[in-house]
Structure 1
Amino acid sequence: MPVVVRPARPDELVAVGELTLAAYSADNGMTREHPYAATLLDADARAREAVLLVAVEADGRLLGTVTYVRPGTPFAEVGGPGEAEVRMLAVDPAARGAGVGRVLSDECVRRAREDGCAAVVLSSGSWMHAAHRLYGRMGFVRTPELDWSPRPDVDLLAFRLDL
């Protein structure tokens, strides 16, 4: 399936938020009542404060999304100076296994290189095993010193790709 990655358009933001929550729900059963659900649904904030990317088919069907975060900007969590971040990678559950996550991640790495970053870092839920395999295939390495828990019931594992 040919996939195009581009910045999200304003008219897509609600759908991007819904897709993000659906992907997280498929991974761990997250519901709208979960404290993080409002953040996942708020694609408008990601589009304002970071680079919100989407993957679409030729007919425009939304397949996935990712947030590319430049160093020192509001959505940065674990990155240091000169480190871009990948946040909220989400693929429509119906499109999984088709390489959508890879093309979105590759675009973040490309942008980080273009921005002159030294590395790309990210946090991933301990339950997101398919994402961990993807990051490993891309050359990311586990970076346990950056692991963290935003809530007692959520463990986030950190990964880093030196550029």
Structure 2
Amino acid sequence: MDIVIRPAEPGEYETLGEITAQAYLRDGLLDFGESDGYLGELRDVAKRAAAAEVLVAVAEGQVLGGVTFVPSGGPMADISGPGEAEIRMLAVAHAARGRGAGEALVRACLDRARATEGCVRLVLSTQRTMHAAHRIYERLGFLRTPERDWNPIPHLDDIALLTYELTL
């Protein structure tokens, strides 16, 4: 099966939003389940697409997953600084996992970072329990950067995010 990575089309936003939300919910990554405020952000692909580049992995006409690529200095950046691009919200549908879509999406972000003038590094944040994603990042050469780990909700210590970077 050939996986194609390309920019998400508006008609796919709802599908990708639901894939992303369900990936986080099924993997227990949202502290408050369906009432978690971040769930709305995960589902709002149109908002992400207006501020960054949203990519989808497609096979046989079906969206398998997606990722948001934030070029250097983009409004969706969480941790990137000057000369850095960022990966956000990588998610693959539960039924499509293990088929290479996640890795293909990360590789596409690497290609975009390398093609971005002045970009010297690709960075990302990830939750501690996202072990499959960690394996992808490490296999592709990303290194842990514990000095950049951070917490999006400071009063909830168990949400601390791990960070990785890859120097291009």
TM-score of the superposed pair, with normalisation by structure 1: 0.96
Residues 19-46 of structure 1, C-alpha deviation per residue, up to 9 Å, x if partnerless? Answer: 1001111221633211210110110111
Which residue identity lines up with residue 129 of structure 1 in the other structure? H
Residues 46-97 of structure 1, C-alpha deviation per residue, up to 9 Å, x if partnerless? Answer: 1100000000113x10101000001111101111101000000000010111
SS in 2 for 1:150: coil
How many matched pairs? 162
Distance (whole Å) between structure 2 residues aligned to residue 29 and residue 52 of structure 1: 21
**Structure 1 segments unaligned to the other structure (5+ residues):** none
Distance (whole Å) between structure 1 residues aligned to residue 29 and residue 86 of structure 2: 25
Pairs within 5 Å for 1:6-155: 6-28=6-28, 30=30, 31-58=33-60, 60-116=61-117, 117-151=119-153, 152=156, 153-155=158-160
Residues 76-120 of structure 1, C-alpha deviation per residue, up to 9 Å, x if partnerless? Answer: 111110100000000001011111100000000000000131010
Distance (whole Å) between structure 2 residues aligned to residue 55 and residue 76 of structure 1: 22
Distance (whole Å) between structure 2 residues aligned to residue 13 and residue 79 of structure 1: 25
Distance (whole Å) between structure 1 residues aligned to residue 120 and residue 108 of structure 2: 16
Question: Quick check: which one's strand share is greater?
Answer: 1
TM-score of the superposed pair, with normalisation by structure 2: 0.93
**Structure 2 segments unaligned to the other structure (5+ residues):** none
Distance (whole Å) between structure 2 residues aligned to residue 7 and residue 62 of structure 1: 11
**1:32–1:38 CA contact under 8 A, matched in 2:** no
Which residue identity lines up with residue 96 of structure 1 in the other structure? R
> Which stretches of structure 1, 4 residues or more, deviate above 3 A after TM superposition?
none
